[in-house]
Structure 1
Amino acid sequence: MKMEHGNDIDAVPFVAADISEQGNVLCFDEFQCTDVADAMILRRLLESLMSHGVVLVTTSNRHPDELYKNGIQRESFIPAINLLKARLHVINLDSPTDYRKIPRPPSGVYHTPLDSHAASHIEKWFRFLGDPENPEPHPEIQKVWGREIHVPRVSGRCAWFTFQELIGRATGAADYLELMRSYDAFIVSDIPGMTFRERDLARRFITFIDAVYESHAKLSFTTRSKTAVHQPGAKSDESVSHAMQHMMEDMGSSIDKLEESNLFSGDEERFAFVRALSRLSEMSSKEWVERGMGLEEKGGKKERDEWAKARSRQMEDSM
């Protein structure tokens, strides 16, 4: 609307009216707020939606009182919190168990020193997740909101980026969602270590991981010091799975130290990081990697077809 009518127009009431015309119940998963711009938009959007009589059903890992906790100009978001508490019934569904961390069969991801041997693993991943009949990579262009997203290496429904190509550029959630509509699997190579100086890169990478997880896509990645690639079905002992599990547990045990870290500007960012670790743990499982791959000798065709239908519905809904 701003592209069509200029930046002076207030688009929020029109967006709310458009949503209310399409449905009177809005189901919203993973409700959160991480920056001041979102806080301002969310407050006014919620007020407009409820003024149209839209019923909101949402899940969140935060009680309303803890949304946007310690965020910049949080006082401007307090009216939205009061609105949620006044108009919604808050039901606690907390569980002491993180089911993503329950041990599973041998992991689909492991870490080894990054060298030419590791690079060959990435190429095997590319063939496995892409088109095995035509594995040679080719570039593609995807478009979002009039902008072009250059995808440097594509095989079938698998896209391969370096970290700089994907995260190092000015990309965001809209770009990642468009990629999820176009591809089922992603390889991200040469991920650097990130400190508070690269906070913006860390935020983007977490957003990308969230998009991959929510779309049930596959993700394989390498870092500059270690690589995280393993072809499902390849011979490996259980120490690989145990190593991955211990790594995730070690990171989990260090979460409390993040309270004093200056890497994150607020609790929501810190929470998003912890959730990303949990999701990476689940995505490293053999079940996650092999789901929908059509491994017919294991009776996978029916499951693959069902998975493809689910992906198709997701793409239709998101569009």
Structure 2
Amino acid sequence: MNPPVPQHAQAMRRHFHEAAARRGFSVAPAQEAAVERLAHLAAELARPAWTFPRPPRDLYVWGPVGRGKSWLVDTFYEGLPTPRKRRLHFHDFFRRLHDGVTRPGARHDGQSAVDSALDELIGDSRVLVFDEFHAHDAGDAMLIARLFRTLLDRRITLVTTSNYPPAGLMPDPLYHHLFEPTIQLIEERMDVLDVTGPVDFRRVAAPAAADGGRRFATGLCLPPGDPGLDELGLPAPEPAEATAVQAHLRELPARAVRGELVWLAFDALCEAATGVPDYLALAERFPTLVLDGVPPLAEASADGRQRFANLVDVACDRDVRLVLIGADPLTGLSAGQALTRDLDRTASRLAMLRRTDRAPVPPPVTPDRAARSRPAPR
């Protein structure tokens, strides 16, 4: 078996440090081991597939929120010279997989529905990067288990991030046993990297970046009636602006649509029977999403809190500017309430919004959404 190509490892290390410098920071000590392992993986992937009998070992990168896991795997992805790669947020991947499996009239040509849907999603990719893998819903556990086994049995290198160690997946004690075979598979087939530095980087003011930063980080949390709303180009909607917007498989009531900005009420989006596919559909169409009537999450229903957390996840991953008007969402939310499994991540991301200086909403434009560059590293 030929050894990894060392110049590719060195090139990937250099790529990480240059990417960090462009963002105005340096690679943290807690991230160095992950950088080294990802550089080694890049060198392994640089070898022709016919020179080794099996793909490199897959990677599972986990740690608390805000430790730069997404930035690590996104930077790795960007530095891979091969075009045979795919990067997806797990919300998006699982939604597309579910749609492919359940689509009426789908032809599978003798394959299982899961295999056929994976073929559509992955194609001939050699590398698949998942961001924010998690397993909370018992109803999805079996499909996720099938997904992982199918991926690990293919000649595809899988790199995934998570806020949970493998043993912490599917934390509900009533259903954890259903996921134990998948946990065992992850621990046997993947190298598990722990990124647990002491700093949540999202809560630390970032230095100015040469590449202009991300749209999500220009989002805001403002109280209702804030006099700055007009200055920001966000006057309250008039009744005549009320309309409906198409989400995934439904229409949602909107207080206003202004070019590529949509203005929605918290109750209409988070207290109604909406889901991640709806938020993904909105993110595809609207670079700016205004949500008003945001209550302290302690006053929202458990389902409303979970939907809000999912919305923040999608907005961050799809680089949507999120403007929240209302109370501080995290006020009065105790650790014992529902959503604790995702609340740390939500709070970390909301901290990015709350520390941002007010920047006017850009005027409506209609660029080709498909041509937008991928989000900058988080």
TM norm structure 2:
0.58
1:155-174 superposed matches below 5 A: 155-174=258-277
| d(CA) in 2 for partners of 1:291, 1:26 | 37
Equivalent position to 1:57, from 159, 167, 172? 159
* Structure 1 residues 103 and 23: CA distance shift in structure 2, 3 A: closer
* Structure 1 residues 159 and 123: CA distance shift in structure 2, 3 A: farther
* Structure 1 residues 49 and 182: CA distance shift in structure 2, 3 A: same
Is 1:83 matched with 2:185? yes
- SS of the residue corresponding to residue 263 of structure 2 reads strand
Q: Are 1:172 and 1:204, in contact at CA under 8 Å, matched by a contact in 2?
A: yes
- SS of the residue corresponding to residue 34 of structure 1 reads coil
1:179-198 superposed matches below 5 A: 179-195=282-298, 198=301
- SS of the residue corresponding to residue 221 of structure 1 reads strand
| d(CA) in 2 for partners of 1:196, 1:36 | 26
* Structure 1 residues 28 and 103: CA distance shift in structure 2, 3 A: same
Q: Kindly provide the amino acid, as one letter, of the partner of residue 89 in structure 1.
A: D
Q: Kindly provide the amino acid, as one letter, of the partner of residue 353 in structure 2.
A: M
| d(CA) in 2 for partners of 1:101, 1:12 | 39
- SS of the residue corresponding to residue 77 of structure 1 reads helix
Q: Are 1:17 and 1:52, in contact at CA under 8 Å, matched by a contact in 2?
A: no
**Counterpart of 1:204?**
307
- SS of the residue corresponding to residue 91 of structure 1 reads strand
Equivalent position to 1:217, from 300, 304, 320? 320
Is 1:271 matched with 2:341? yes
**Counterpart of 1:241?**
none
Is 1:280 matched with 2:350? yes
Q: Are 1:137 and 1:154, in contact at CA under 8 Å, matched by a contact in 2?
A: yes
| d(CA) in 1 for partners of 2:328, 2:231 | 13
Q: Are 1:126 and 1:158, in contact at CA under 8 Å, matched by a contact in 2?
A: no
Q: Are 1:28 and 1:59, in contact at CA under 8 Å, matched by a contact in 2?
A: yes
Q: Point out the more displaced range, 61-70 or 27-36.
A: 61-70
1:4-15 superposed matches below 5 A: 4-5=104-105, 11-15=113-117
| d(CA) in 2 for partners of 1:61, 1:193 | 24
RMSD: 3.8
| d(CA) in 2 for partners of 1:17, 1:309 | 25
**Counterpart of 2:144?**
42
Q: Are 2:202 and 2:349, in contact at CA under 8 Å, matched by a contact in 1?
A: yes
Q: Kindly provide the amino acid, as one letter, of the partner of residue 179 in structure 1.
A: L
Shift of 1:27: 0.4
Q: Kindly provide the amino acid, as one letter, of the partner of residue 115 in structure 2.
A: P
Deviations 1:191-227 (CA, angstroms, capped at 9, x unpaired): 234448710111001111111111222222223xx47
Deviations 1:24-63 (CA, angstroms, capped at 9, x unpaired): 3210111112211232221111111222222211111221
**Counterpart of 1:312?**
372
* Structure 1 residues 109 and 314: CA distance shift in structure 2, 3 A: closer
Provide the identity percentage: 24
Q: Are 1:163 and 1:191, in contact at CA under 8 Å, matched by a contact in 2?
A: yes
Is 1:139 matched with 2:251? no
Q: Are 2:284 and 2:369, in contact at CA under 8 Å, matched by a contact in 1?
A: no
Shift of 1:280: 0.4
Q: Kindly provide the amino acid, as one letter, of the partner of residue 11 in structure 1.
A: A
| d(CA) in 2 for partners of 1:197, 1:138 | 24
* Structure 1 residues 149 and 314: CA distance shift in structure 2, 3 A: farther
Q: Are 2:115 and 2:150, in contact at CA under 8 Å, matched by a contact in 1?
A: yes
| d(CA) in 2 for partners of 1:24, 1:164 | 43
Q: Kindly provide the amino acid, as one letter, of the partner of residue 344 in structure 2.
A: V
Shift of 1:108: 7.0
**Counterpart of 1:2?**
102
* Structure 1 residues 96 and 52: CA distance shift in structure 2, 3 A: same
Q: Kindly provide the amino acid, as one letter, of the partner of residue 217 in structure 1.
A: V
**Structure richer in helix, relative to its length:** 1
* Structure 1 residues 62 and 108: CA distance shift in structure 2, 3 A: closer
| d(CA) in 2 for partners of 1:109, 1:178 | 22
> Aligned residue pairs: how many?
257
Q: Are 1:139 and 1:150, in contact at CA under 8 Å, matched by a contact in 2?
A: yes
| d(CA) in 1 for partners of 2:242, 2:371 | 23
| d(CA) in 1 for partners of 2:360, 2:170 | 35
TM norm structure 1:
0.67
